[in-house]
């Protein structure tokens, strides 16, 4: 019978009425993506009887022994008889009764071979009893896992059972013989690859680990169901951001990560340099002195021989110090050999002609392209060297920035609202299985909250109105609520979560609390800036209409004491062909936070960088 005929007969009658969902192997390998099987509409029942190659990582497992036939009494007697055929009665007596053995020796039985002791009959080692391994395998394509059944005759259970093991296997898709939560399972016929783990060193386990502990192993944490779901949602939101922009005619522009312009005016930035000025170099003599001291400690510990563990640690410490001394000696020799060709008064040259740093925002650079191409957007990392610890901000965060020529504040606010709603709708439609997991395991209100964003209009209030609303609510905070002071994250969150209970857009801020480039309003006191604030997260979007008038912008730069030459290129946009323009910055990582219901931005970023901690 052909393979196709076998598969046809193997398919259960219950699924005959359902058309088999196509599960095409991945284009660049011969394996089938598990999402194509497990999220096929019928849970994979329409594919029963088909043969597949799958690959993934073991999330959990169990081993079930096969029922073995108990040996009969006749077999036991026969084995015992066979083992005793070469042992005579006299030998048994001699081995058991020392007195009889002595008499035989006295009577001249020296030529008689006497066994001083009966050697125990050692049975050959029995093979381990046959068993079946049930593996829950995930390849990261969806939240569900596939049950994979492997007989011990095909693979050694100890090699495939540990959590984290990678397995590539070929087999037939079947319905489980025992009813349970799994609709289908893969009966393995051939194992093509096993990527083994060291169970005592592997950081993950079958049990759920807290997210804060998973941050210590960011290279393994996407293997957990929670982080994997978050990353798939993040990927979908990335695509949604590009889709919204591209469908509305925005052009994608890559703005520089290294820049000389501080877009905020007084940001805490990471400096970019190839010359380490005033570097504290460790002296070779200091290291050699430390090495002599550590040698003495090792010798003292060897003499006492009372603490082997302390001795091992001291020896390792000495080896590290010795290695450092060798490196410093080599560096010193290399420096002396080069010094003969370099003038003594010549200082090392910086890579750039001016001081550079990692960008805080790309809006100013993006603005130059908006003034040429019309509507543009950028998507990339932005950096802040602030050491303030916050669950909503870290050193490196991704931002979507949009800039529109011939637009004003009202246009930017409308675009920001549409953009946010588009992403909320996208994640509900495109990530249904992952969102169901989030609903079950992280936040039971997440679906309702996203749907409310889509269906409810946002509250728009001016800065002055926001101030009045906070005063009426008798909000007790440390900062005095006086006009002109910046609204804190706590103030803004209170507006969205407690007063209006929905997304709020606050606009027309005092000029002193917003960047220098924001357009001054006619009252001379406020600027055309806005913040979109959402419950649970706070400020998600910050935008503005930028100052297109040369005199106003130039005066603002001087007023704040900024270095004028750093912004000459920016002033050129006002000198030559100026135009009204507006845009905003969208905190992409905060959007992922909002969509998943998590509380700390470090848990939605693949490799978070925070003050004092960078693991890889």
Identify the band that residue 190 occupies on the pLDDT scale cut at 50, 70 and 90. Answer: very high
How high is the pLDDT of residue 312?
A: 74
Pick from 17-31, 216-230, 231-245, 484-498 the range whose average pLDDT is largest.
Answer: 231-245
The more confident residue out of 345 and 360 is 360
Q: Show Cβ contacts of residue 475 under 8 Å, excluding neighbours closer than 6 positions.
A: 481, 491, 494
How high is the pLDDT of residue 83?
A: 45
Tell me the CATH architecture of domain 229-271+355-457+550-603. Answer: 2-Layer Sandwich (3.30)
Give the distance, in angstroms, between the CA of residue 239 and the centroid of all CA atoms in the same chain: 18
> CA angle, corner 35, sides to 32 and 41, nearest 5?
115
Cα dist from 283 to 76, 280, 286, 345, whole Å: 79, 9, 5, 22
Average pLDDT, the chain: 85
Q: Per-residue pLDDT averaged across 590-596, rounded?
A: 97
How high is the pLDDT of residue 105?
A: 55
CB atoms within 10 A of CB 47: 24
For residue 1, which of 59, 49, 61, 67 has the smallest C-alpha distance?
A: 49
How high is the pLDDT of residue 209?
A: 85
Q: Per-residue pLDDT averaged across 375-400, rounded?
A: 94
Task: Check if the beta carbon of residue 252 is closer than 8 Å to that of residue 378.
Answer: yes
How high is the pLDDT of residue 281?
A: 52
CB atoms within 10 A of CB 269: 19
Residue 560 clears pLDDT 80, i.e. is over it = yes
Tens of pLDDT, residues 134-157: 999 999 999 999 999 999 999 999
Residue 112 clears pLDDT 60, i.e. is over it = no
CA gap 64, 131 in Å, rounded: 6
How high is the pLDDT of residue 477?
A: 57
What separation, in Å, do the N-terminal and C-terminal C-alpha atoms of the chain show? Answer: 55
Identify the band that residue 291 occupies on the pLDDT scale cut at 50, 70 and 90. Answer: confident
Q: Which residue has the tokens 């009813």?
A: 179
Q: Per-residue pLDDT averaged across 524-530, rounded?
A: 97
Judged by average pLDDT, the poorest of 30-39, 99-108, 456-465 is 99-108
Identify the band that residue 71 occupies on the pLDDT scale cut at 50, 70 and 90. Answer: very low
How high is the pLDDT of residue 276?
A: 67
CA gap 237, 424 in Å, rounded: 9
Q: Per-residue pLDDT averaged across 348-355, rounded?
A: 84
Please give the share of the chain, as a percent, with pLDDT higher than 90: 60
Q: What's the longest Cα–Cα distance across the chain?
A: 132
CA gap 444, 450 in Å, rounded: 12
133, two tokens: 């391994």
Q: Which residue has the tokens 């001081």?
A: 355
Tens of pLDDT, residues 407-419: 999 999 999 999 9
Residue 420 clears pLDDT 50, i.e. is over it = yes
Neighbour-count burial for 420-443, b at 16+ CB within 10 Å, e otherwise:
bbbbbbbbbebbeebbebbeeebb
Q: Per-residue pLDDT averaged across 463-470, rounded?
A: 94
Same fold, 3-66+130-195 and 229-271+355-457+550-603: no
* DSSP-derived 3-state class of residue 318: helix
Task: Check if the beta carbon of residue 553 is closer than 8 Å to that of residue 524.
Answer: no
Residue 20 clears pLDDT 50, i.e. is over it = no
Please give the share of the chain, as a percent, with pLDDT higher than 70: 82
How high is the pLDDT of residue 286?
A: 81
Q: Per-residue pLDDT averaged across 363-370, rounded?
A: 96
Residue 19 clears pLDDT 50, i.e. is over it = no
Identify the band that residue 198 occupies on the pLDDT scale cut at 50, 70 and 90. Answer: very high
Q: Per-residue pLDDT averaged across 391-402, rounded?
A: 95
Q: Is the pTM of this model over 0.85?
A: no
263, two tokens: 């877009």
Report domain extents, the chain: 3-66+130-195, 87-118, 229-271+355-457+550-603, 284-338
How high is the pLDDT of residue 612?
A: 81
Neighbour-count burial for 49-64, b at 16+ CB within 10 Å, e otherwise:
bbebbbbbbbbebeee
Pick from 23-27, 177-181, 270-274, 278-282 the range whose average pLDDT is largest.
Answer: 270-274
Whether domain 3-66+130-195 has CATH 2.40.50.140: the reply is yes
235, two tokens: 């990927």
CA atoms 10, 11, 16, 22: torsion sign = negative
Judged by average pLDDT, the poorest of 87-101, 189-203, 254-268, 447-461 is 87-101
CB atoms within 10 A of CB 93: 13
How high is the pLDDT of residue 86?
A: 47
């Amino acid at each position: 019978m052909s393979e196709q005929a076998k598969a046809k007969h193997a398919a259960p009658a219950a699924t005959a009425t359902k058309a088999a969902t196509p599960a095409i192997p991945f284009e660049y390998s011969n394996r089938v993506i598990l999402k194509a099987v497990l999220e096929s509409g019928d849970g994979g029942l329409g594919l029963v009887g088909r043969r597949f190659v799958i690959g993934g990582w073991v999330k959990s497992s169990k081993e079930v022994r096969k029922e073995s036939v108990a040996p009969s009494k006749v077999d036991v007697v026969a084995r015992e008889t066979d083992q005793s055929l070469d042992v005579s009665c006299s030998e048994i007596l001699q081995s058991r009764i020392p007195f009889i053995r002595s008499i035989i020796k006295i009577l001249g039985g020296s030529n008689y071979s006497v066994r001083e002791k009966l050697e125990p009959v050692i049975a050959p080692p029995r093979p381990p009893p046959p068993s079946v391994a049930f593996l829950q395998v995930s390849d990261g394509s969806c939240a569900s896992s596939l049950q994979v059944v492997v007989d011990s005759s095909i693979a050694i259970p100890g090699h495939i059972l540990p959590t984290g093991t990678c397995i590539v296997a070929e087999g037939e898709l079947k319905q489980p013989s025992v009813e349970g939560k799994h609709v289908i399972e893969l009966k393995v016929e051939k194992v093509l690859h096993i990527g083994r783990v060291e169970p005592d060193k592997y950081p993950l386990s079958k049990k759920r680990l807290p997210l804060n502990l998973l941050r210590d192993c960011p290279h393994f944490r996407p293997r957990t169901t929670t982080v994997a779901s978050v990353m798939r949602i993040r990927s979908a939101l990335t695509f949604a951001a590009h889709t919204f922009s591209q469908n509305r005619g925005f052009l994608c522009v890559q703005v520089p990560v290294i820049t000389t312009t501080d877009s905020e005016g007084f940001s805490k930035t990471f400096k970019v340099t190839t010359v380490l000025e005033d570097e504290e170099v460790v002296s070779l003599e200091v290291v050699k002195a430390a090495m002599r001291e550590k040698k003495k400690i090792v010798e003292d510990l060897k003499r006492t021989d009372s603490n082997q563990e302390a001795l091992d640690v001291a020896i390792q410490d000495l080896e590290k110090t010795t290695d450092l001394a060798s490196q410093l000696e080599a560096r010193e020799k290399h420096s002396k050999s080069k010094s003969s060709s370099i003038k003594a008064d010549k200082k090392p040259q910086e890579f750039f002609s001016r001081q550079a740093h990692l960008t805080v925002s790309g809006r100013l650079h993006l603005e130059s392209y908006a003034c040429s191409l019309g509507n543009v957007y950028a998507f990339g990392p932005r950096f802040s060297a602030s050491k303030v610890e916050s669950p909503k901000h870290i050193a490196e965060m991704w931002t979507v920035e949009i800039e529109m020529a011939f637009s004003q504040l009202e246009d930017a606010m409308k675009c920001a609202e549409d953009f946010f709603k588009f992403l909320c709708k996208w994640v509900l439609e495109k990530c249904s299985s992952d969102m169901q997991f989030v609903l079950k395991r992280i936040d039971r209100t997440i679906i309702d909250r996203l749907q409310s964003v889509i269906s409810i209009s946002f509250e728009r209030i001016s800065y002055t109105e926001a101030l009045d609303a906070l005063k009426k609510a008798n909000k007790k905070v440390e900062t005095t609520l006086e006009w002109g002071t910046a609204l804190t994250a706590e103030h803004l969150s209170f507006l969205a979560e407690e007063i209006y209970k929905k997304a709020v857009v606050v606009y027309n801020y005092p000029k002193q609390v917003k960047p220098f480039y924001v357009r001054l309003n006619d009252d001379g006191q406020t600027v055309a800036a806005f913040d979109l604030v959402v419950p649970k997260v706070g400020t998600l979007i910050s935008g503005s209409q930028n100052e297109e008038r040369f005199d106003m912008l130039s005066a603002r730069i001087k007023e704040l004491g900024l270095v004028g030459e750093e912004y000459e290129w920016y002033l050129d946009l006002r000198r030559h062909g100026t135009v009204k323009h507006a845009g905003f910055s969208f905190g992409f990582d905060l959007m992922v936070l909002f969509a998943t219901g998590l509380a700390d931005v470090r848990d939605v970023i693949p490799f978070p960088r925070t003050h004092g901690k960078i693991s890889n």
